[in-house]
């Protein structure tokens, strides 16, 4: 697992061994950033279910202004700290160790939100519900959901959302854009 592009390009990132986390593959991560490549610069990023922190790190490497990474696992949070330090992004990435709902209910606005929870949980659906309820996606913001290809992503209640799906074997990316709000 490595940083694909930007100022930290080529840095090899650590990930937890075992089944506790499921890092996004380099192929899927490259696809994500090809899809949103012109919508990262100077944006505020939220990386829920951070795992290794690689999505936030990639976004910062490509010019995002600031990122918040949320991770419940102490072991994974320790890996994120190491990866952030390795890339020299300690001043641009904030780690929140705890429940993702705490961050979503605080009302801060984000421009890009990455949702990549464990596939065999209902955490993705719960996160989308809270994002919608607390209206934390900025105007012209993007949500990128990584899920099992069989999962149906519900539509958010508000107006001005567009949805696009991309499939990579058993993995489905759903990109939700908020426009004209």
CATH 3.40.50.150 is right for the domain spanning 26-178: yes
Q: Which residues pair with 86 in a beta bridge?
A: none
Q: Give the per-residue pLDDT at 158.
A: 76
Give the residue among 87, 30, 19 at the shortest CA–CA distance from 53. 87
Q: Give the per-residue pLDDT at 181.
A: 56
DSSP 59: H
Q: Give the per-residue pLDDT at 12.
A: 92
- How does strand 110-115 pair with strand 44-48? parallel
The pTM of this model reads 0.93
Percent of the chain with pLDDT over 90: 70
Which residue ranges in the chain fall short of pLDDT 70?
18-24, 26, 180-181
Domain ranges (residues) in the chain = 26-178
Q: Give the per-residue pLDDT at 30.
A: 87
CA distance linking residue 78 with residue 16, whole number of Å: 10
CA distance linking residue 102 with residue 41, whole number of Å: 26
């Amino acid at each position: 697992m490595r940083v694909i592009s930007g100022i930290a390009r080529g840095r090899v990132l650590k990930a937890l061994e075992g089944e506790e986390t499921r890092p996004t593959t380099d192929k899927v991560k490259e696809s994500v950033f090809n899809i949103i490549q012109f919508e990262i610069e100077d944006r505020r990023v939220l990386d829920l279910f951070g795992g290794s922190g690689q999505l936030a790190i990639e976004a910062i490497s490509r010019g995002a202004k600031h990122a918040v990474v949320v991770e419940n696992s102490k072991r994974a949070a320790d890996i994120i700290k190491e990866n952030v330090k390795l890339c020299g992004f300690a001043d641009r990435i904030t780690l929140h160790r705890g429940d993702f709902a705490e961050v979503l209910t605080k009302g801060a606005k984000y421009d890009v939100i990455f949702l990549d929870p464990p596939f065999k949980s209902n955490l993705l659906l719960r996160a989308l519900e809270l994002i919608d309820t607390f209206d934390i996606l900025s105007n012209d913001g993007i949500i990128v959901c990584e899920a099992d290809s069989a999962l149906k992503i519900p539509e958010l209640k508000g107006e001005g959302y567009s949805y696009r799906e991309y499939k990579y074997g058993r993995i489905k990316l759903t990109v939700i854009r908020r426009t004209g709000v």
